[in-house]
Amino acid sequence: MKETSTVAEPIGQNLIKLISNLCFSVFVFSVLIFTVIAITYQPPDPWLESAPALTRLFTQTENATFSVDNSVLKTGEDMQAVSAPAVPPTADVKPITEEVIEKSEEKVSNMTTLKSSGCEDLQVVNCSDPRVLIAVQRFNLRLFKSIVFLEYQTPVNGSKPDECDVAWKFRNKKEKSWRKYRDFRRFKFGFGENCSYKIVHASGWHSGTFARRPLSRVNATRSGGNSAKVVPKIRDPEINDTIPTLGSEMNFRKGKYLYYSRGGDYCKGMNHYMWSFLCGLGEAMYLNRTFVMDLSICLAGSYTPSGKDEEGKDFRYYFDFEHLKEVASIVEEGEFLRDWKKWDRSHKRKLPVKKVVTHKVTPMQLKKDKSTVIWRQFDTPEPENYWYRVCEGQATKYIQRPWHALWKSKRLMNIVTDISGRMDWDFDAVHVVRGEKAQNKERWPHLDADTSPDALVAKLQGMIQPWRNLYIATNEPFYNYFDKLRSHYKVHLLDDYKELWSNTSDWYNETMALNNGRPVEFDGYMRVAVDTEVLYRAKNRVETFYNLTSDCKDGINTC
């Protein structure tokens, strides 16, 4: 009979197993907690930071106002979620796709075709033939991959018998708004198999001048002594930024309004303006009231050639007032005050008004107020008189800034589209931040050297293919600073397109009409806004920070 002996396992081996099991359990538990947080966390604002964190960032002691980077200026259309619909749900917009073109071909398949004999004798193209438009549609789909084509006009005769001018409406796939733009180009046609139409040559952006729809022009006169001054008023049918009226006295009395008096935000930077304006608009939406807004903006000196603040700028120069009217209940301040005074003059009982003299009165405390007007007054010293203070503290849980309501001006976006279209939507871009940051060696010790002409050439050659269209968005004032890049790329700068805001441009005439016949300067904010949007439309984008330099975007130790 064999003896069986049991050998006890060493204590150390059991201890190792216990520790490893415990560590694995902690690891699994940590992963589980991290996953739950990642799935459930939703930031309250599109800038992907909490409101208190942004407020701390924007209100550092430097000038007691925003100290963020102003070289890129985002608005609502830039911060929409990628999955957001590109067209409003109610819009009847059907993009022109290959399937749509095939259906069009089926409709014309029974038409009388050109005879196979005698194609060489055909020298005049029939631009009204549906097959001409089909050929253009196919050509555009093949060439412009980043464009969504929405609507075509019937082709018209060009300057020669074998040419047709064609106009269409479109949007860029990288633009998250549903705004439409126009292009019109000239095409030279030949004949392919069975005398079918084929495009021999396509001219560039806005070349098909005969297909351009003329802008409606209204002449208004202003009396001045014995003579009358003609004020041109250009009306683009795609833009409707007229000031809405309240209508009858009864309509005015039935309304509920939130009125913000001018505070310390006036003449601050545009990022500060947007942060505060959207706080007020967000509170109005929370209270279910119409927001009374002042269309007059004071442009901070950082955006003006003189370096001094400039008052009297129109909101509509910079932002899309038409879109704002569509998505928010607003009334212009002057219109509101006129109706208010008219009501008080014609009625013994004055309008019920709730005056709020401190931002410490929260929106939640005003939720049940029945007054016709809630009038927030900002008369305390800075920074207590900033509008955005209303949205701090507990209010962050209730007030959501409606970033979707604030888009860049359609007039500025037309310039963006024009610049991108002239490069046939096929370009790369580099964002070169210089200016004051490049001179501040304490906070950005390497920026100046890393964005020098030689350094740019060396860096970009490893990132951008040679002889590509290269758009440079920059705050560098010296135009010839980037000349060394011209030996490697087709360089484009904003100042290459000055005619788009010159005194012969649509932008010039349209903004002058808004300004009572006085010319409007294409200022620093407009330049940065256009630079930003062209940058976003590039196929490949190189940023200063994280691509060109190892310096931190906000200075040393902020990465």
Report CA-CA distances (Å) from 299 to 31, 267, 320, 525: 49, 6, 17, 8
- Which has more pLDDT, 125 or 30? 125
The enclosing H or E element of 496 equals: none
Please check whether residue 473 is in contact with residue 531, taking contact to mean a CB–CB distance below 8 angstroms: yes
Which pLDDT value is given to residue 69?
Answer: 60
Distance, in Å, from the CA atom of 158 to the CA atom of 209, rounded to the nearest integer, reads 8
The enclosing H or E element of 470 equals: strand 469-474
Distance, in Å, from the CA atom of 15 to the CA atom of 25, rounded to the nearest integer, reads 15
Amino acid in position 152: Y
Which pLDDT value is given to residue 93?
Answer: 67
Which pLDDT value is given to residue 125?
Answer: 87
CA angle, residues 410, 412, 418, in degrees to nearest 5? 100
Q: Nearest CA to 65 among 276, 260, 261, 308?
A: 276
Tell me if the bond preceding 381 is cis, omega within 30° of 0.
Answer: no
Return the DSSP state at 148: E
Q: Nearest CA to 76 among 323, 330, 289?
A: 323
Distance, in Å, from the CA atom of 259 to the CA atom of 292, rounded to the nearest integer, reads 5
Give the β-pairing of 147-152 and 163-172: antiparallel
Helices 410-422 and 506-514 meet at what angle, rounded to 10?
Answer: 170
Return the DSSP state at 403: G
Distance, in Å, from the CA atom of 514 to the CA atom of 68, rounded to the nearest integer, reads 31
* Mean pLDDT for the stretch of residues 428-432: 97
The Cβ of residue 26 has, within 10 Å, a number of other Cβ atoms equal to 10
Residue carrying structure tokens 């749900």: 89
Distance, in Å, from the CA atom of 559 to the CA atom of 540, rounded to the nearest integer, reads 23
* Mean pLDDT for the stretch of residues 260-277: 94
pLDDT tens-digit readout, 147-163: 999 999 999 999 999 99
Strand-pairing partners, residue 183, are: 168
**Complete DSSP assignment for 213-269:** PPPEEEEEEEEETTEEEEEEEEE-TT---PPP---SHHHHHH--EEEEPP-TTTTS-
Report the 3 state secondary structure along 156-225: EECCCCCEEEEEEEEEECCCCCCCCEEEEEEEEEEECHHHCEEEEEECCCCCCHHHCCCCEEEEEEEEEC
Amino acid in position 41: Y
The enclosing H or E element of 455 equals: helix 453-460
Half-sphere exposure of 258 (CA within 13 A, CB side): 23
Among residues of the chain, what percentage have pLDDT more than 70? 81
Report CA-CA distances (Å) from 178 to 148, 171, 181, 188, 193: 11, 7, 10, 31, 39
Tokens of 294: 């002042």
* Mean pLDDT for the stretch of residues 1-25: 62
Q: Nearest CA to 524 among 457, 466, 477?
A: 477
Least trusted range by pLDDT, from 41-45, 167-171, 274-278: 41-45
Give the β-pairing of 373-376 and 353-356: parallel
Q: Phi and psi dihedrals of 471, rounded to 5? A: -90, 130
pLDDT tens-digit readout, 473-525: 999 999 999 999 999 999 999 999 999 999 999 999 999 999 999 999 999 99
Inform me whether the pLDDT recorded for 120 exceeds 90.
no
**For residue 74, what pLDDT band results from cuts at 50, 70 and 90?**
confident
Q: How close are the terminal C-alpha atoms of the chain, in Å?
A: 76
37-76 burial, b at 16+ Cβ within 10 Å, e below that, comes to eeeeeeebbbbeeebeebbeebbeeeeebbbbebbbbbbb
Average pLDDT across the chain, whole number: 84
pLDDT tens-digit readout, 188-230: 999 877 778 899 999 999 999 999 876 555 444 433 343 334 4
pLDDT tens-digit readout, 227-251: 334 444 445 677 888 888 877 677 7
